[in-house]
Amino acid sequence: MNKWLVVWGALLILSAPLQAKDLQLLDILQQVVDSHPKTRAMLEQGVMQRAEKRKAEAAFDPYFSQKLSGRVSGYYDGHVLTSQVTKPLAGMGAEVFARYQLADGRFPVYEGFYDTLSGGEASVGIALSLLRGRETDERRTNLQTAALDIQLWQAQYQGLLNDQLYLAASTYLKWYESSLKRQALEAMSTTLRNSGRALQQRVEQGDAAQMDLDDFTSSTLEVSLLQTDTEQAQAVAVAKLQYFISEPAPLAIPGTTRQQWPFSVNDTRLRLLKQSLATHPLQLQMGLSLQNSQAQLQLAKNNLLPVLDVKASVGRDIGQGNKTLQGTETKVGLDFSYPIGNRKNQAEQHKAQAKVRQNQLKIADLNQKLEQQFEAAVARWKQSQQALALRQQAQTLAERLQRAQLARFNSGDTDMFVLNARQTKLIKAQMEAISAHVDQRQAELDLFYAAAALDSLALVPNTQNPVFNEPERRINF
């Protein structure tokens, strides 16, 4: 039952009158770009990547901290409140801060740095990294890799879009081929029916033998069988094509309107396609992976350095109290540390170096692979042109021979068996010519796919999505 529903649906699409909304190939591809669930899911991945970047940027947001401590029992007593606003900076792992401290009570000598005048102490300062953390640190590396991840997602999006468009266009070509064959078979079937009625009259009048009519009927049955196979192939192609169509509408029947084939190839376009291999999504992904591993290597080298941080501040107390706390205070401090052995960071460096070398080798391998795939597609395209020319010549010759044989049969110079043989060769030549025509288009499509340029023609992306807020890789023909 389902099989007949599919066939019936295909017939409805083919028999629908041509309207402005009838779908051309470009309409289907545009729907893949705009609204296909797989494409939209990949766009949501971009939203998540941008959120990751904002999270990495948050490491440099200013923050407020406050600490309250007190000695509530014992010979000495006292309470200290310290409030501080800190703003991390990217350069030299620095941070600037503003601090306010207020102390009240009696403190021992060894806690005297807590003492302030009655109005508290206000100070500002800066902390810098002189060795480890000077050139980079985990915060800056995370921010760098988050930006690279957005570019990586964009390359992955372009690669996925190239795959989806290729599948949609290839499926469309299957439908297109079966539609052309069905049209050719229907035209041939009409001609055979007219000839069959004339032959039937000749048999009834005694001008032709019943065997001639039987031979002719076998030819019409062969055409009918081919029509059945073609209708089945067309119905299957229609069912598969629905996966890429989000807004169902009748498909534009070949021959009823100018077919839009945006992937035609000539020598100029061939050169542009080959040039675009340098910005193939896989190339971009591998290049970004290399940059990411280089950033991790830089961080690993940084972590091998000793910690040597400097901190300076200027402060002044406010209010009444001990005269020794009056005036401006300037404080400078150094912090130095280094793990003996440092084997963990050394291992991280060796691992990061191996990752960089691995990515460099993968890039070299990918360059060769993409180049070879493109050259193979070029060879297939050139061969498809030659095959199409030969198939068209064979079809023209078969049509001429069939017309001549029909004239001889009508004049009584040959029999129906020979005419049927010519008719069979003509059917075969027409079907093979249609297949060669579609094979050439498939070869052109393969060239665009090999260059990852299927989204470069006549497709209007959704510019509201973040993927299009960054510079795009486009090929203008």
In DSSP notation, 22-48 reads: -B-HHHHHHHHHHH-HHHHHHHHHHHH
Residue 75 DSSP code: S
Residue 66 DSSP code: E
Same domain, 272 and 409: yes
The answer to whether residue 426 sits within a structural domain is yes
Q: Report whether pLDDT(327) > 70.
A: yes
Confidence of residue 446 (pLDDT cuts 50, 70, 90): very high
At residue 210, the pLDDT reads: 58
The answer to whether residue 375 sits within a structural domain is yes
The answer to whether residue 296 sits within a structural domain is no
Q: How far is CA 220 from CA 188, 224, 233, 397, in A?
A: 9, 6, 20, 21
At residue 403, the pLDDT reads: 82
- Contact yes or no for 129/93 (Cβ under 8 A): yes
Give me the number of domains the chain comprises: 2
Written as one string, the DSSP assignment of 411-442 is TTSS-HHHHHHHHHHHHHHHHHHHHHHHHHHH
Same domain, 102 and 37: no
Let me know if 323 is exposed, middle or buried by CB neighbors in 10 A (0-12, 13-18, 19+): exposed
Same domain, 108 and 214: no
Residues 91-95: contacts with CB within 8 Å, 24+ apart? 92/128, 92/129, 92/130, 92/133, 92/134, 93/128, 93/129, 93/133, 93/134, 93/137, 93/140, 94/126, 94/127, 94/128, 94/129, 95/126, 95/127
d(CA 130, CA 123): 23
At residue 101, the pLDDT reads: 93
Neighbours of 142 (CB within 10 A): 18
Q: What is the pLDDT of residues 254-297, one digit of tens each?
A: 866 556 788 999 999 999 999 999 999 999 999 999 999 999 99
Confidence of residue 120 (pLDDT cuts 50, 70, 90): confident
Same domain, 125 and 171: no
Same domain, 231 and 329: no
Q: Which residue has the tokens 């893949």?
A: 32
Same domain, 320 and 409: no
Average pLDDT taken over every residue of the chain: 84
Q: Report whether pLDDT(458) > 60.
A: no
At residue 463, the pLDDT reads: 42
Domain that holds residue 431: 2-56+140-291+354-468
Q: How far is CA 81 from CA 91, 115, 455, 471, in A?
A: 30, 11, 62, 51
The answer to whether residue 298 sits within a structural domain is no
Same domain, 202 and 145: yes
Q: What is the pLDDT of residues 157-213, one digit of tens each?
A: 999 999 999 999 999 999 999 999 998 888 887 766 666 555 555 555 555 555 555
Q: What is the mean pLDDT of residues 84-106?
A: 92
Q: What is the pLDDT of residues 128-158, one digit of tens each?
A: 999 999 999 999 999 999 999 999 999 999 9
Same domain, 238 and 376: yes
At residue 197, the pLDDT reads: 58
Same domain, 42 and 150: yes
Q: Shortest CA distance to 19 belongs to which of 326, 191, 251, 183?
A: 251
pTM of this structure: 0.81
Same domain, 82 and 128: yes
The answer to whether residue 25 sits within a structural domain is yes
- Residue with the bigger pLDDT between 470 and 447: it is 447
The answer to whether residue 123 sits within a structural domain is yes
Residue type, 184: A
Q: What is the pLDDT of residues 375-426, one digit of tens each?
A: 999 999 999 999 999 999 999 998 888 788 777 766 666 556 666 677 778 8
Same domain, 97 and 229: no
Q: Report whether pLDDT(59) > 50.
A: yes
- Contact yes or no for 177/438 (Cβ under 8 A): yes
At residue 252, the pLDDT reads: 83
d(CA 436, CA 260): 18
The answer to whether residue 103 sits within a structural domain is yes
Residue 59 DSSP code: G
Instruction: Please report, rounded to a whole number, the percentage of residues in the chain having pLDDT higher than 70.
Output: 81
Q: What is the pLDDT of residues 339-353, one digit of tens each?
A: 888 899 999 999 999
> What is the β-pairing status of strands 121-129 and 95-106?
antiparallel
**Looking at residue 263, which CATH number applies to its domain?**
1.20.1600.10
Q: Please list the residues that pair with 87 across neighbouring strands.
A: 96
At residue 6, the pLDDT reads: 35
The answer to whether residue 477 sits within a structural domain is no
d(CA 173, CA 49): 36
At residue 364, the pLDDT reads: 96
Compute the C-alpha angle 405/407/412, nearest 5°.
90
> 3-state SS of the chain: helix, strand, coil percent to 5?
65, 15, 20
Same domain, 211 and 316: no
Q: Shortest CA distance to 128 belongs to which of 99, 97, 95?
A: 95
Confidence of residue 107 (pLDDT cuts 50, 70, 90): confident
Q: What is the mean pLDDT of residues 20-37?
A: 87
At residue 104, the pLDDT reads: 86
Q: Which residue has the tokens 């080798």?
A: 361
Structure tokens at 233: 């192939």
Residue type, 317: D
